[in-house]
Amino acid sequence: MHLVVESPIGPLGVSVEGETVVGVRFAASGPVDGNGPAADQLRAYFAGELTDFALPVEMRGGSDFERSVWAEIAKIPYGEMVTYGDIATTLGDVGLSRAVGTACNHNPVPVIVPCHRVVGAGGKMVGFGGGLERKRKLLELEARVALERSWGI
């Protein structure tokens, strides 16, 4: 099943098989269909009400290296950022930073598996399959929500 979910970063195309999310893509077209757990959780995420998705996700395709990068990305806590170099170092070779960036770009389930939380050295905004403006908006949303929660707002 293919859903189109409206969001502050534009319509998201969400591919779901049963209850399992198998794909998310930016700038989707088609009639908006906001039914089901994936749509509900995405709406709650963008409303600042959800910080951890509780959806079954199947990461299809990708090389073994890409899958290892995606697994690391999935561990990044809400509202936090890591660098491409951090992930490369975790995987055993800081020289793989560019390959980490390529793997992030191939993430089949962006937003839910938060590749937007991966930034360049020194926090520099670089690379994002959905465009830097979407990445900035996602990071700003998470920073605002994390701050509000820490203040008890």
In whole angstroms, give the CA distance from residue 106 to residue 67.
10
Q: Which of 55, 112, 115, 118 is catalytic?
A: 115
Inter-CA distances, 30 with 14, 27, 47, 83, 111, Å = 11, 10, 23, 35, 20
Distances (CA, A) of 135 to 2, 9, 114, 125: 23, 9, 10, 8
Residue reference for tokens 């209850």:
19
Q: What is the DSSP string of 41-108?
A: HHHHHHTT--SS----B---S--HHHHHHHHHHHTSPTT--EEHHHHHHHTT-GGGHHHHHHHHHT-S
Is 104 designated active site?
Answer: no
- Active-site residues: which are they? 115
